[in-house]
Amino acid sequence: MNPAEIDFIESKFLSPCKIKPEKCSESFVLLIFGGAGDLSRKKLLPALYQLFQHKSFKNFSIIAIGRSIRSEKAYRTLIAKAVKKHVGKNYQKSNWDRFAKHLFYRSYNVEQQSTYDDLCGLITQHCKKNRTKNVIYYLAVQPSLTVPIIQGLSRQHLCREKQHSKIILEKPFGVDQASARKLNQKVLRAFDEKQVYRIDHYLGKETVQNILFFRYANTIFEPIWNRDYIDHVQITVAEDVGILERGEFYEEAGVIRDIVQNHLLQLIAMIAMEPPANFTANLIRNERVKIFRSIRPITGNKITQQIVTAQYSSYRREKNVAKNSLVPTYFAGKFYLNNRRWAGVPFYVRTGKKLAKKSTQIIVQFKIPALKMLGRTCDIMNPNKLIFQIQPQESITMQFCVKQPGTLNVPQPVLMSFDYAKAFQVDTLPAYNRLLLDCMQGDQSLFARQDEVEAMWKVVDPIIKHLAHKRKISTYAAGSWGPKSAEQLITKDKRRWINA
């Protein structure tokens, strides 16, 4: 039976919630390498425009660097279209016109040293104009260009020597632990770790951050947040879309490098980490890295017992995908953490493309209580569940049991929910907005540190290596919840996936 729903937060109690004023940034000069690319058009420029509209900053220059030769006017027109499309009703022509005055475009070959001679002059000029030393380099380019760009900047003394400069790196950070380490060494030859912002946009999602607030800003959950009370945790990152136009990238990455090594492991960390001594970047990141290091290695025959991978049935017909590709688009796994809080508690995780719907959800399922003591009819097993819905809606729901009205002693599950949109009546900040602002202000908490990235690779490397020897891969129907074997992974433990 579906639990009855109680809308716990009545707006008359809490609304309007007092929203504290948003953070503001100082002035800055932002260079976006790959400034006309997909990420810039879909995420970065719309985020920057929205931040500007929210008055998060005033004095700034955004210099987009791209391969194609186009005028500044043509670039602004291109971005205006993209911003309009992505911010929807929040687009205001008058604000756009003011924003566009801060937007510049330069066409460069980033593999030529002369580019950086020019950039040096350009940066000095824009820093002067905005009276700032705050320079940010955003690398929204293919991974093979990361090192040439860093070396180019470094030769012009635009990195460590410019103490206020920062660099934002997009994933993937390498393709395995060894390459990530090498990449990190090269990055850290030019910059100090405190200047480096490795972005994982899942950490910028409001409901992901809320996991820590939910745990630590309340007294009632932490005491039961452990193996004594929690039966298991389920994490689902389901997408309804396929690989879209990213065949080339996806053939190299596959689901493990694309989602598991970063977003999924970060979600495990948010649920499992110990409270940091305080909320500063390095202490938070220390706790996250401890979780990655405590994940019990899945190697040898444990891989076949604990991991399921599959490919959606039409994958091989996608553009730029090999006709005999064995690249997985679906992953389900069972992880254990070797630490005192979580010993023996399985973390079931799954993610995939072309699944039944887009939904990112974390379910913390508690142990079954001693129901029989309530009478002979009390054998319905409905343990408490906490459901963090991360997207598309943003909510937290608690399932608990009450007595069914009437003469029978029957417990019935009901739901208490908190919904961000209803309770706060404001749009939550998209992940990139929050992360860009944090970087401008020098807050690294929501960015992955070097050791985190390497520890995450260590978890997935043996799995990727093992799969590389496989000669075939099972398929699943587009629009389903994945292959049967993923179902069995959890049902053999007498549990079941809960589909949003």
Residue 126 bears catalytic tag = no
Assess 239 for contact with ligand BG6 (CB under 6 A): yes
Determine how many CB atoms are found less than 10 A away from the CB of residue 498.
Answer: 14
Query: Rounded CA gap, 365 and 359, in Å?
Result: 18
Nearest position to ligand BG6, beta carbon: 258
Give me the DSSP letters along 86-119: HHGGG--HHHHHHHHTTEEEEE--TTSHHHHHHH
Cβ proximity to ligand BG6: between 225 and 330 the closer is 330
- Closest contact distance (angstroms) between CB of 201 and ligand BG6 is 6
**How many C-alpha atoms does 258 have within 13 Å on its Cβ side?**
24
3-class SS of residue 318: coil
CA nearest neighbour of 365 among 163, 224, 253, 185: 224
251 sits in the region (left: phi over 0; alpha: psi -120 to 50; else beta) called alpha
- Closest contact distance (angstroms) between CB of 419 and ligand BG6 is 19
Cβ proximity to ligand BG6: between 41 and 201 the closer is 201
For residues 199 to 228, the per-residue mask of contacts with ligand BG6, x marking binding by CB under 6 A and - elsewhere, is --x---------------------------
- Closest contact distance (angstroms) between CB of 258 and ligand BG6 is 5
Give me the DSSP letters along 29-79: EEEEETTTSHHIIIIIHHHHHHHHHTTS-SSEEEEEEESS---HHHHHHHH
For residues 163 to 202, the per-residue mask of contacts with ligand BG6, x marking binding by CB under 6 A and - elsewhere, is --------------------------------------x-
- Closest contact distance (angstroms) between CB of 334 and ligand BG6 is 22
- Closest contact distance (angstroms) between CB of 29 and ligand BG6 is 27
Under a CB-based contact definition with an 8 Å cutoff, are residues 115 and 152 in contact? yes
Assess 258 for contact with ligand BG6 (CB under 6 A): yes
Assess 394 for contact with ligand BG6 (CB under 6 A): no
For residue 397, the 8-state DSSP code is E
Cβ proximity to ligand BG6: between 209 and 404 the closer is 209
Cβ proximity to ligand BG6: between 170 and 454 the closer is 170
Cβ proximity to ligand BG6: between 239 and 318 the closer is 239
Cβ proximity to ligand BG6: between 201 and 232 the closer is 201
| 143-149: long-range contacts, CB 8 A cutoff, minimum separation 24 | 143/172, 145/33, 145/110, 145/111, 146/183, 146/187, 147/183, 147/186, 148/110, 148/111, 149/33, 149/110
Near ligand BG6 in 460-479, by CB under 6 A: none
Choice among 157, 263, 466, 469 that is catalytic: 263
Cβ proximity to ligand BG6: between 48 and 431 the closer is 431
Cβ proximity to ligand BG6: between 152 and 430 the closer is 430
- Closest contact distance (angstroms) between CB of 360 and ligand BG6 is 6
Under a CB-based contact definition with an 8 Å cutoff, are residues 59 and 27 in contact? yes
Near ligand BG6 in 20-59, by CB under 6 A: none
Helices (H), 217-297: 247-255, 265-272, 281-294
CA nearest neighbour of 490 among 336, 346, 297: 346
- Closest contact distance (angstroms) between CB of 39 and ligand BG6 is 10
- Closest contact distance (angstroms) between CB of 425 and ligand BG6 is 23
Phi then psi for residue 292, to 5 deg, are -60, -35
Q: Give the count of residues interacting with ligand BG6 (CB under 6 A).
A: 4
- Read off the amino acid at residue 447: F
Q: Is the dihedral of CA 344, 355, 262, 331 positive or negative?
A: positive
Under a CB-based contact definition with an 8 Å cutoff, are residues 97 and 105 in contact? no
Cβ proximity to ligand BG6: between 258 and 394 the closer is 258
Cβ proximity to ligand BG6: between 201 and 350 the closer is 201
Assess 318 for contact with ligand BG6 (CB under 6 A): no
- Closest contact distance (angstroms) between CB of 406 and ligand BG6 is 44
Residue 123: both structure tokens together:
């940066």
- What is the DSSP pairing of strand 411-419 with strand 4-6? parallel
- Closest contact distance (angstroms) between CB of 391 and ligand BG6 is 6
Under a CB-based contact definition with an 8 Å cutoff, are residues 236 and 350 in contact? yes
Query: Rounded CA gap, 310 and 262, in Å?
Result: 19
Distance of CA 125 to the CA centre of its chain: 35
Under a CB-based contact definition with an 8 Å cutoff, are residues 46 and 87 in contact? yes
Near ligand BG6 in 360-379, by CB under 6 A: 360
- Read off the amino acid at residue 305: Q
Catalytic residues: 263
Contact residues for ligand BG6, defined by CB under 6 A: 201, 239, 258, 360
